């Protein structure tokens, strides 16, 4: 079993300046509703988080004892965890900010999260929803932080043609490198848009391989290790491909981005499901063309495979290597 908490090997992060922000005025859908885990590196319930929160308590106790508001060490610790909630005025009840959205036909949690730019996990928490529970028409959802109603697109499954094109792309092996669409992003970075779908060694990177082109990365892992969604999204494919990728799941994140999870032993996600970042979608396997169990993971932008490593947090090995280079 693996939990997103395992991602605690990441370092604290700085606000990203993604290429999308440089090239597009539109909010980058895949990044816009990023998870705290991916930006702070402190996964809920992880040892690092427990440590940080116990430090907060120690600091608070010390501050109370000595009548100090904050010490620099304490504020540094606190900024790593949670910013203090604004104190309500005396005599007034603190009302959580947000609005009520009434679910219309075809609307899913993912589409609502996209429209309001709120994480799926936040919507689920605010409304006490369970994963993969379909919304009901007329259901009232509290949208935390929202100030005005937004237009929410109805979810729709792929058309026959779109599905065929996707299946074809999952069957073919890329023989030529895709044309570069954007300048490569700095490799070792401390911010990240995606979560590692599993923790494991990078067995085969993105790029030319044996006269062909490897359109994703291979992450080594034992059989049945839980594969999680790298970002909030919608399941658009959860089936056995007829090609080398074996059993695969494809998630749609916003309009442009898709992620592919292949060679799975089992598929948990179902077509049309909303998945939140870190939610289990299947188990590692070696279906299709695979020499041993591993996860083949792809990031596609408008159908063009991009190097997933550019969107993932640096591994601890990379950070150590980077530190050694600086010395
Ligand atoms: Zn692969």
Q: CATH number of the domain that 106 lies in?
A: 3.10.350.10
Does one domain contain both 284 and 177?
yes
Does one domain contain both 205 and 250?
yes
CB 214 within 8 A of CB 208: yes
Per-residue pLDDT reduced to its tens digit, 219-264? 999 999 999 999 999 999 999 998 889 999 999 998 899 999 999 9
Does one domain contain both 188 and 314?
yes
Å from CA of 85 to ligand 1 middle: 45
Å from CA of 12 to ligand 1 middle: 29
Does one domain contain both 171 and 43?
no
Residue 89 lies inside a defined structural domain of this protein: no
Residue 110 lies inside a defined structural domain of this protein: yes
Å from CA of 101 to ligand 1 middle: 41
Residue 287 lies inside a defined structural domain of this protein: yes
CA 50, 55, 61, 67: dihedral to nearest 10 degrees?
A: -150
Exposure on the CB side of residue 18, measured as CA atoms within 13 A: 19
Rounded-to-integer distance, Cα 123 and Cα 144, Å: 7
Å from CA of 263 to ligand 1 middle: 9
Model confidence pTM above 0.85 = no
pLDDT of residue 211: 82
Å from CA of 210 to ligand 1 middle: 12
Per-residue pLDDT reduced to its tens digit, 150-201? 999 998 889 999 999 999 888 866 666 666 666 666 555 556 789 999 999 9
Does one domain contain both 212 and 279?
yes
Å from CA of 261 to ligand 1 middle: 10
Whether the pLDDT of residue 15 is over 60: the answer is no
Residue 119 lies inside a defined structural domain of this protein: yes
Q: Could you tell me the residue range of the domain that residue 281 belongs to?
A: 160-321
Å from CA of 277 to ligand 1 middle: 22
Residue 133 lies inside a defined structural domain of this protein: yes
Does one domain contain both 275 and 126?
no
Å from CA of 166 to ligand 1 middle: 17
Rounded-to-integer distance, Cα 113 and Cα 121, Å: 9
- Please classify residue 211 by burial: count the beta carbons closer than 10 Å to its beta carbon, then call 0-12 exposed, 13-18 middle and 19+ buried: exposed
Per-residue pLDDT reduced to its tens digit, 262-282? 999 999 999 999 999 999 999
Å from CA of 102 to ligand 1 middle: 42
Residue 93 lies inside a defined structural domain of this protein: no
Å from CA of 217 to ligand 1 middle: 5
Does one domain contain both 191 and 240?
yes
Does one domain contain both 57 and 107?
no
Å from CA of 214 to ligand 1 middle: 6
Residue 152 lies inside a defined structural domain of this protein: no
CATH code, 297: 2.70.70.10
Residue finishing a domain among 89, 110, 144 = 144
Least confident of 75-79, 182-186, 214-218, 272-276: 75-79
Does one domain contain both 48 and 109?
no
Does one domain contain both 309 and 260?
yes
Does one domain contain both 277 and 176?
yes
Residue 87 lies inside a defined structural domain of this protein: no
Instruction: Give the total number of structural domains in the chain.
Output: 3
Å from CA of 216 to ligand 1 middle: 6
Does one domain contain both 288 and 190?
yes
Q: Fill in the DSSP letter of residue 154.
A: P
């Amino acid at each position: 079993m693996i939990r997103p908490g395992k991602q605690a090997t990441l370092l604290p992060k700085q606000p990203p300046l993604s290429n999308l922000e440089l090239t597009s005025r539109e909010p980058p859908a895949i990044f816009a509703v990023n998870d705290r885990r991916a930006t702070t590196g402190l996964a809920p319930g992880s040892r690092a988080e427990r440590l940080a929160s116990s430090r907060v308590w120690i600091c608070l106790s010390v501050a109370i004892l000595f009548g100090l508001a904050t010490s620099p060490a304490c504020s540094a610790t606190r900024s790593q965890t949670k910013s203090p909630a604004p104190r309500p005025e005396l005599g007034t009840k603190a009302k959580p900010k947000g609005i009520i959205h009434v679910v219309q036909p075809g609307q899913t949690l993912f589409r609502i999260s996209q429209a309001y730019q709120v994480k799926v996990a936040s919507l689920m928490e605010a409304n006490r929803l369970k994963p993969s529970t379909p919304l009901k028409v007329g259901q009232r959802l509290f949208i935390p932080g929202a100030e005005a109603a937004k237009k929410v697109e109805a979810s729709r499954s792929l058309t026959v043609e779109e599905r065929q094109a996707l299946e074809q792309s999952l069957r073919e092996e890329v023989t030529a490198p895709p044309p570069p669409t954007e300048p490569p992003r700095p490799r070792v970075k401390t911010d990240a848009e995606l979560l590692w779908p599993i923790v494991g060694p990078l067995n085969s990177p993105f790029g030319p391989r044996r006269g062909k082109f490897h359109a994703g990365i291979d992450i080594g892992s034992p059989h049945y290790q839980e594969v999680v969604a790298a970002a909030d999204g919608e399941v658009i494919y959860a089936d056995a491909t007829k090609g080398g990728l074996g059993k695969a799941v494809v998630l749609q994140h916003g309009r442009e981005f898709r992620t592919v999870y292949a060679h799975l032993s089992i598929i948990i996600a179902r077509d049309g499901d909303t998945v939140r970042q870190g939610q289990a979608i299947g188990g590692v396997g070696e279906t299709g063309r695979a020499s041993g169990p591993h996860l083949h993971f792809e990031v596609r932008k408008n159908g063009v495979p991009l190097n997933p490593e550019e969107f993932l947090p640096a591994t601890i090995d990379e950070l150590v290597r980077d530190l050694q280079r600086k010395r």
